[in-house]
Structure 1
Amino acid sequence: MKPYPHFCVVGHPNQGKSSIVSTLVENAHIRIGVESGTTQKAERFEFIIQNQVLLALTDTPGFQRARQVLAWLNEIPVTPAQRPERIQAFLNEPSHAQRFPDEVELLTPIMQGAGILYITDAASDLTAADEAEMEILRWTGQPRMAIINPIDPDHQDPNWQVTLNQFFQWVRVFNPMTATLPTRIALLNAMAELSQGWTQAIKLLNQRLIERDQERIEQVSLQLAEYWCEQISRRLAITPLNSVLPTPPEELFQQQLDQSETHFFEQLLTQWGHAQAHTEKERLWQAQDSPLMNTEHWYLWGLKQKELLMISGAAGMATGAVIDLGSGGTSLMLGAVSGAIIGASSGWLASQHLPKKVFGWLPLSKEKHFVGPITHPNFPLVVMARALTFTQRVWFKSHAERRQLDLKSQASDWSKADQIQLLQWAKALQKQQWKDKHQHQLTQWIKDSLHETLTAKLAQEQAKVWKLDP
């Protein structure tokens, strides 16, 4: 027996077999289509973590002539113990490769030792062909589970549950389009119970999945912190060459900001296995359709004018309070008061327009003009809100789900303390007062934010897992 379990995914066409394979092995390259017979040949997919194969699934074509195959099997009376031999005899008949190509394709790996995952949407009426399929699979003698894929949850035929219980060891409901980690682990645990030889291997797989999620939080927190710092402190030098270029420096600067965001998003997609084949690629979220520098839509991600003034003022007061503490209190809190006034005023001024050309110094250069960094107080919040939201949505995105992401989170959902903290970090970056301790604090803030959101979402999913079965 192989050191990892192997299952064949079988059933009628258009029941979501390929979607389930894509989700369980985290492979976004598997072709998924609404047309009948998308899968025409049995194809094996392996789930690999840390260079170790932990699970193999074979996506098979659907049954096409199940009743004729069952009729052939019944031509010779056999005992239940002889039924697997009769299935093998069917496969050994040379003419059957031409006469029953789909059935030969799906039964061959099963008779070589694979378990069975039988997929149905349980929405249509049970037919004689359905029962013939299930009877053939029972004849193989292999461990088997039925999975109800609720493509249309409002139209489920209760007769399916009763019938499936007669042919399969386990019956589970599993939606590959929405399955998060707890749902997948629950299904994998049920698969482990089909054969004692698979129990330890699937337990190891589940353990690796949990460990990998923790590692991903660490990795993406570092990456997102670095990306945010780059965006907040980014600036573009204006050289004599700019005067002959057709694109104004301000526009080039905005393009850099948008391109950096797109690069960060695509990096996550690639790392987490969502970079699809070129011929089938659908971008999860077209950043070009809602660019970072589309300031007209910043209100969707940041704060409204009144909120912006309050947060800017609070951030200014916090900065002024540092001055008071440094003077031992002799300023009679004038620093905090003036800081609040300056902060609110700058918030109002910056909310009217983005900064244009700024005069300053660049390393290893003479005095020159440059564009950036963006000092609009909404900007640090917008950059972080979009990046965190995208990260969270990709985290929960099934590999079978190919539609675009819907991004709705807002910086205004955060606490005022968190908003002020981000603005203070942005100010430290732009004044070149950034230190290693700030980088560590920012990374930890991102990690805590992600952990809180992910934990809450996964807890909701965990509570649903045991309510899925009819």
Structure 2
Amino acid sequence: MVGGAMIADAAHFCVVGHPNKGKSSIVSTLTENDSIQIGVESGTTRQADSFSFIADNRLLLALTDTPGFQRARQVLAWLQQQTVAPHERAARVRAFLDVAEHRQAFPDEVALLTPVMQGAGIIYVTDASGPVSASDLAEMEILRWTGQPRMAVINPMAGSTHQDEWRQTLNQYFQWVRVFDPMSAQLDSRLQLLRAMNELADPAQQRALKRLIQHLETRESGRLSQFAQQLAAYWCGQITLTLDAARLQSGQSPEEALQQSLNKAEESRFQQWMQQCGYSRLELETQLNWVKGFNQLMDTEQWSFWGLKSKELMVVSAATGAAAGSLFDVGTGGSSLLLGAITGGILGTAGGWLVSQQQPGSRLSIPGIKKQHKIGPVKHPNFPFVVMARSLSFLNLLWSRTHAQRDALQLEVKASTWSQAEQVRLLRWAKQLQSDKWSDKSQQALEAWIVAQLSENTDQSAE
């Protein structure tokens, strides 16, 4: 067992090739493991390590990440010192591994050939940026001598100038040749590679790979519904969030407390989505030209990046039938505080804010805050768009990402890309929530709308 998972009949492949061709990136993408060390320098992988894909407590796929060939021509020369029949070549490779001195003289070759000769299939990784060299040919010939089922993967990490030459050469040594970019491979691309691997496997391992393929297909459709339900619940929670003023920490202002609660809720939701997608080290980062703190939901001075512009808000608010004075509710004695309380800044009606185009981050005094019994919810008309846009942006980027990528995730989508009809629907839903007119039918409609948004962006990323 590995990590509590049954290992019997799991498909096992050894990922081999010359250093710095993307072997570890392919292992990371196929096993959905972002903890695998990946580096641009040669020799990042120094020993053979196995990584697995486990589903329903069953180990379905094991991939052994290996060091790159270092002295392939010398190894091939040793193998060819004796003339052997084709059916004796695998035994000759085993004889090479049995020589104790070879562990010192050829440590990388011994490390990569050992799991192969123990029964692993071969995935030979190369790129097509340069011509086929004598060392490349030696590597392929050694792998052919093993007698193990094998396929070649061209990783277009550095270009494809010599791809035709490589294809014609690889076809002479491998049963399958595929082009696969582990940095951008969407589900369809990964499934195609797994199906090719399935053609090489024995019947028992084919069953494991078929289970893996079915699992990935089923999970993809299930995630769409699951994420939609989770996002809808999270959005509703943010739109209706209120705090008890009596429970504030000493010296903490009402607006600070509400800001922290809303930011914390977003951070927690994003972290849960990352965990659901198998990311343990992914970080959220702003673009270089965005100001510090942009990754905070309640950094209201940056809402112009996410919500609607002033003129758009005026049109949408009017279309929603929202009276200007009702969009803000700043009062005393139990009435809720809105964006003005959060930012410390906006008094008057929504119409007044829209006409003056005053930024949400400006500072104005708000009388009566300390008399409030309840803090929130946020009723500024931009708030529903900001919460939804940031969440959809995060999910879309997370969905289209591969586990081989090591850069931080950067939010990009703007709410202003939605149609006016969609903007009106969101604002109406927010008003229903905050006026206690929410229903199961409304919840279902919101979830269906989110499914459509996620599906649209998923289809675009797959093109």
TM-score calculated relative to the size of structure 2: 0.85
| Alpha-carbon distance in structure 2 between the residues aligned to 1:311 and 1:343 | 15
| Alpha-carbon distance in structure 1 between the residues aligned to 2:451 and 2:221 | 10
Map 1:293-332 onto structure 2 (within 5 A).
293-316=298-321
SS at match of 1:55: strand
Q: What's the CA shift for 1:442?
A: 1.8
Residue 77 (structure 2) aligned to one of 62, 71, 74: 71
Q: What's the CA shift for 1:117?
A: 0.4
- The range that moved more, 292-301 or 171-180, is 292-301
Residue 67 (structure 2) aligned to one of 41, 61, 65: 61
Partner of 2:337: none
Counterpart contact for 2:248–2:254, Cα < 8 Å: no
Q: What's the CA shift for 1:234?
A: 1.5
Counterpart contact for 1:84–1:139, Cα < 8 Å: yes
| Alpha-carbon distance in structure 2 between the residues aligned to 1:231 and 1:317 | 20
Partner of 1:7: 13
Partner of 1:409: 413
Partner of 1:218: 225
Alignment length (residue pairs): 425
> Does 2:170 align with 1:164?
yes
Task: Note closer, same or farther for the CA distance 1:79–1:385 as it changes in structure 2 (3 Å cut).
Answer: same
Q: Structure 2: which amino acid aligns with 1:283?
A: E
> Does 2:283 align with 1:283?
yes
| Alpha-carbon distance in structure 2 between the residues aligned to 1:240 and 1:116 | 62
Counterpart contact for 1:316–1:344, Cα < 8 Å: no
SS at match of 2:200: coil
Partner of 1:227: 234
SS at match of 1:70: helix
Residue 53 (structure 2) aligned to one of 47, 60, 83: 47
| Alpha-carbon distance in structure 2 between the residues aligned to 1:241 and 1:394 | 35
Partner of 1:122: 128
Q: What's the CA shift for 1:143?
A: 0.8
Residue 237 (structure 1) aligned to one of 244, 257, 276: 244
Map 1:374-389 onto structure 2 (within 5 A).
374-389=378-393
Task: Note closer, same or farther for the CA distance 1:291–1:349 as it changes in structure 2 (3 Å cut).
Answer: farther
SS at match of 1:377: coil
Counterpart contact for 2:26–2:182, Cα < 8 Å: yes
Counterpart contact for 2:29–2:182, Cα < 8 Å: yes
> Does 2:264 align with 1:262?
no
Q: Structure 2: which amino acid aligns with 1:432?
A: D
Task: Note closer, same or farther for the CA distance 1:49–1:148 as it changes in structure 2 (3 Å cut).
Answer: same
> Does 2:30 align with 1:30?
no
Q: Spell out, residue by residue over 1:147-179, the C-alpha distance to the aligned partner (whole angstroms, 9 max, x if none).
A: 111112264454322221211111111100000
Partner of 1:209: 216
SS at match of 1:193: helix
Q: Spell out, residue by residue over 1:154-213, the C-alpha distance to the aligned partner (whole angstroms, 9 max, x if none).
A: 644543222212111111111000000001011111111224524443232211101011
- The range that moved more, 144-153 or 400-409, is 400-409
Task: Note closer, same or farther for the CA distance 1:182–1:358 as it changes in structure 2 (3 Å cut).
Answer: farther
Task: Note closer, same or farther for the CA distance 1:353–1:62 as it changes in structure 2 (3 Å cut).
Answer: closer
- The range that moved more, 116-125 or 378-387, is 116-125
Map 1:315-464 onto structure 2 (within 5 A).
315-316=320-321, 345=351, 348=354, 352=358, 368-458=372-462, 460=463
Q: What's the CA shift for 1:290?
A: 2.9
| Alpha-carbon distance in structure 2 between the residues aligned to 1:283 and 1:408 | 15
Show structure 1 runs of 5+ residues with no match: 277-281, 320-341, 361-366, 461-470
| Alpha-carbon distance in structure 2 between the residues aligned to 1:179 and 1:310 | 41
Percent identity reads 51
| Alpha-carbon distance in structure 2 between the residues aligned to 1:165 and 1:14 | 22
Q: What's the CA shift for 1:359?
A: 7.4
Counterpart contact for 1:49–1:208, Cα < 8 Å: yes
Counterpart contact for 1:249–1:371, Cα < 8 Å: yes
SS at match of 2:436: coil
Partner of 2:341: none
Show structure 2 runs of 5+ residues with no match: 1-6, 287-291, 325-347
| Alpha-carbon distance in structure 2 between the residues aligned to 1:130 and 1:42 | 20
Q: What's the CA shift for 1:289?
A: 4.0
| Alpha-carbon distance in structure 2 between the residues aligned to 1:205 and 1:449 | 27
Counterpart contact for 1:118–1:147, Cα < 8 Å: yes
Counterpart contact for 1:284–1:403, Cα < 8 Å: no
Q: Spell out, residue by residue over 1:48-67, the C-alpha distance to the aligned partner (whole angstroms, 9 max, x if none).
A: 12222111110011111111
Q: Spell out, residue by residue over 1:388-433, the C-alpha distance to the aligned partner (whole angstroms, 9 max, x if none).
A: 1100110111000111223322222222222111111111222233
Task: Note closer, same or farther for the CA distance 1:347–1:185 as it changes in structure 2 (3 Å cut).
Answer: farther
| Alpha-carbon distance in structure 1 between the residues aligned to 2:118 and 2:315 | 69
> Does 2:258 align with 1:253?
yes
